[in-house]
Structure 1
Amino acid sequence: MLLLGPNNTINALPQYCTPLLPCLHARLGQKSCGAPMGPFEPYVCKRGYYCPPGGKEMIICPSRSYCPEGSVAPLRCSAGSVCKEGSIKSNTWLPLAFLIIIDLALIAAIMLHWLRKRLASSRTAGGEKVMSFMNRARNGASGYKSLDDDMIALVEPRITQIHRQPTGFVAAMEDFTYQPETLYESRSGKIEEEVADTEELRAFINSLRRCIDGSQFGLSFAFADLGFHPKGAAKPVLCGITGEIKRGSLVGVLGGSGAGKSTFVNVLMGKQINTGGTVIVNGTVGKVAQYKKIIGYVPQDDVVLPELTVKENILHSARIRLPSNWSDDDIHKHVDALIACLELSHVKDSLVGSTARPVISGGQRKRVSIGMELAAAPMALFLDEPTSGLDATSAGHIMNILKVLSRLGITVVTIIHQPRKEIFETIDDLILLANGRLIYQGRESDAPTFFERAGFIFPEHANPADTIMDIITGQGRPYKRVGDTSKEALIEHWQSISQNRREELTTRPGSTTEENTALRRSIRRRGAPLHRQIYFCLSRSLLQQYRLKSSWWFEMGIASLGGFLIGLALNSKSGAIFVGLYRDNYEILSSALDYQTIPIMALLVAISIGLIASSPSVKMFGEEKLIYWREAASGHNRLAYYLGKVISTLPRILMGCLHFSTFFMLLATPRISWPRAFAANVLYFYCIYGLASICSMVTRREDGPLIATMAGLIVGILSGMAPQLSQVAKWHMTWLWRASPGVWIGEVYFSEDILPLGDLYQIEDAARVTGMVLDRYAMDLAILLVIGTVYRIIAFAELVLVKRHKQK
Structure 2
Amino acid sequence: MAPSEQTSNETDGVCHVADGGGDPLRRLTQSGASSPLGLALCPVTLKFEDVGYKVKLAQGECLPTRKLIVEKTILTGLTGIVSPGEILAMLGPSGSGKTTLLTALGGRLPGKHSGFVTYNNHPFSSSMKRRIGFVTQDDVLYAHLTVSETLTFAALLRLPDSITRAKKLEQAEHVLNQLGLSKCKNTIIGGPLLRGVSGGERKRVSIGQEMLVNPSLLLLDEPTSGLDSTTAMKILTMVKGLAKGGRTVVTTIHQPSSRLYHMFDKVVVLSEGAPIYHGQASVAMGYFAAVGFSTPVAMNPADFLLDLANGIPPSKIDSEDQGEGNSLEEQDPKLVHQLLISAYNENISPRLKAELRSTPSTPNQYSVACRSRVEEEWGTSWWEQVRVLLKRGLKERKHEAFSGLRIFQVTTVSILSGLLWWHSTISHIQDQIGLLFFYSIFWGFFPLFHAVFAFPQERAILMKEQRTSSYYRLSSYFTARTLGDLPTELALPTLFVLLSYFTGGLKPTFTNFTLTLLVILLNVLVSQGLGLALGAVLMDVKKGTTLASVITLVFLLAGGYYVQRVPSFIAWLKYVSFSYYCYKLLLGVQYGEGDVYGCGTGLCRVVDLPAVANVGVGNKGRDVGALVVMMVGYRLIAYAALRRLKVR
TM-score by length of 2: 0.82
Larger Rg: 1
The answer on whether the counterparts of 2:526 and 2:634 sit within 8 Å (CA) in structure 1 is: yes
SS of residue matched to 1:757: coil
Distance 1:625 1:263 in 2: 20
Is the counterpart of residue 331 in structure 1 residue 164 in structure 2? no
| 1:704-762: CA deviation from partner (whole Å, max 9, x where unpaired) | 667656655553443222333x625x11541x321221111012023333324279867
Note the 1:729-768 alignment, pairs <5 A: 730-734=568-572, 736-757=573-594
Structure 1 counterpart of 2:560, from 720, 728, 738: 720
Structure 2 counterpart of 1:308, from 145, 149, 166: 145
> Hey, what does 1:245 align to over in structure 2?
82
Note the 1:36-75 alignment, pairs <5 A: none
Structure 1 counterpart of 2:200, from 343, 350, 363: 363
Structure 1 counterpart of 2:389, from 537, 550, 574: 537
Structure 2 counterpart of 1:670, from 500, 506, 512: 506
| Count of aligned residue pairs for this structure pair | 588
Note the 1:183-202 alignment, pairs <5 A: 187=25, 189-190=27-28
1:189 maps to a residue whose letter is R
Is the counterpart of residue 557 in structure 1 residue 408 in structure 2? yes
Give the C-alpha shift of residue 792 in structure 1: 2.1
Is the counterpart of residue 649 in structure 1 residue 492 in structure 2? no
Is the counterpart of residue 639 in structure 1 residue 489 in structure 2? no
Is the counterpart of residue 448 in structure 1 residue 285 in structure 2? yes
| 1:250-306: CA deviation from partner (whole Å, max 9, x where unpaired) | 111110121111122223323333432133332445346663322122121222222
SS of residue matched to 2:647: helix
Give ranges in structure 2 of 5+ residues lacking alignment.
1-22, 58-68, 319-325, 331-335, 597-602
Give the C-alpha shift of residue 323 in structure 1: 2.1
Is the counterpart of residue 496 in structure 1 residue 346 in structure 2? yes
Distance 1:464 1:768 in 2: 81
The answer on whether the counterparts of 1:241 and 1:438 sit within 8 Å (CA) in structure 2 is: yes
SS of residue matched to 2:138: coil
> Hey, what does 1:778 align to over in structure 2?
621
1:423 maps to a residue whose letter is L
Distance 1:767 1:557 in 2: 37
Higher mean alpha-carbon deviation, 367-376 vs 699-708, is at 699-708
Distance 1:321 1:297, change over 3 A: same
Distance 1:462 1:379, change over 3 A: same
Distance 1:681 1:648 in 2: 19
Distance 2:558 2:408 in 1: 26
The answer on whether the counterparts of 1:186 and 1:408 sit within 8 Å (CA) in structure 2 is: no
The answer on whether the counterparts of 1:322 and 1:377 sit within 8 Å (CA) in structure 2 is: no
> Hey, what does 1:375 align to over in structure 2?
212
Give the C-alpha shift of residue 460 in structure 1: 5.0
> Which structure has the higher relative contact order (CA within 8 Å, separation 6+)?
2
Distance 1:246 1:191, change over 3 A: closer
More strand by share: 2
Distance 2:621 2:180 in 1: 59
1:609 maps to a residue whose letter is W
Distance 1:338 1:604 in 2: 53
Give the C-alpha shift of residue 779 in structure 1: 3.0
SS of residue matched to 2:277: strand
Distance 1:768 1:607, change over 3 A: closer
SS of residue matched to 2:89: strand
Higher mean alpha-carbon deviation, 768-777 vs 554-563, is at 768-777
1:307 maps to a residue whose letter is H
Distance 1:506 1:603 in 2: 76
SS of residue matched to 2:71: coil
Give the C-alpha shift of residue 625 in structure 1: 2.5
| 1:8-33: CA deviation from partner (whole Å, max 9, x where unpaired) | xxxxxxxxxxxxxxxxxxxxxxxxxx
The answer on whether the counterparts of 2:89 and 2:251 sit within 8 Å (CA) in structure 1 is: yes
> Hey, what does 1:52 align to over in structure 2?
none
2:405 maps to a residue whose letter is F
> Hey, what does 2:156 align to over in structure 1?
319
Distance 1:568 1:699, change over 3 A: farther
Note the 1:273-292 alignment, pairs <5 A: 273-287=110-124, 291-292=128-129
1:227 maps to a residue whose letter is Y
Is the counterpart of residue 793 in structure 1 residue 636 in structure 2? yes
SS of residue matched to 1:520: coil
Distance 1:295 1:714, change over 3 A: farther
Is the counterpart of residue 604 in structure 1 residue 447 in structure 2? no
Higher mean alpha-carbon deviation, 421-430 vs 707-716, is at 707-716
Distance 1:713 1:601, change over 3 A: farther
Give ranges in structure 1 of 5+ residues lacking alignment.
1-184, 194-200, 579-595
Give the C-alpha shift of residue 408 in structure 1: 1.1
Higher mean alpha-carbon deviation, 601-610 vs 710-719, is at 710-719
Give the C-alpha shift of residue 766 in structure 1: 5.9
SS of residue matched to 1:433: strand
Distance 1:275 1:313 in 2: 34
Distance 1:699 1:597, change over 3 A: farther
1:562 maps to a residue whose letter is V
Distance 1:284 1:320 in 2: 30
Give the C-alpha shift of residue 378 in structure 1: 1.7
Distance 1:445 1:208, change over 3 A: farther
> Hey, what does 1:422 align to over in structure 2?
259
2:392 maps to a residue whose letter is R
Higher mean alpha-carbon deviation, 278-287 vs 464-473, is at 278-287
Distance 1:696 1:602, change over 3 A: same
SS of residue matched to 2:186: coil
Give the C-alpha shift of residue 539 in structure 1: 0.5
Distance 2:293 2:202 in 1: 40
> Hey, what does 2:460 align to over in structure 1?
626
Distance 1:277 1:218, change over 3 A: same
Distance 1:535 1:715, change over 3 A: farther
The answer on whether the counterparts of 2:51 and 2:75 sit within 8 Å (CA) in structure 1 is: no
Distance 1:208 1:492 in 2: 50
Distance 2:139 2:439 in 1: 42
Give the C-alpha shift of residue 393 in structure 1: 1.0
> Hey, what does 1:196 align to over in structure 2?
none
Give the C-alpha shift of residue 788 in structure 1: 2.1
> Hey, what does 1:520 align to over in structure 2?
371
Distance 2:359 2:558 in 1: 68
Identity among equivalent positions (%) equals: 24
| 1:348-372: CA deviation from partner (whole Å, max 9, x where unpaired) | 1111222444332221121112112
Distance 1:241 1:771, change over 3 A: farther
Distance 1:186 1:312 in 2: 37
> Hey, what does 1:220 align to over in structure 2?
46
Give the C-alpha shift of residue 416 in structure 1: 0.6
Distance 2:186 2:269 in 1: 40
Distance 1:560 1:356 in 2: 25
Distance 1:411 1:523, change over 3 A: farther
Give the C-alpha shift of residue 219 in structure 1: 4.9
Distance 1:798 1:441, change over 3 A: same
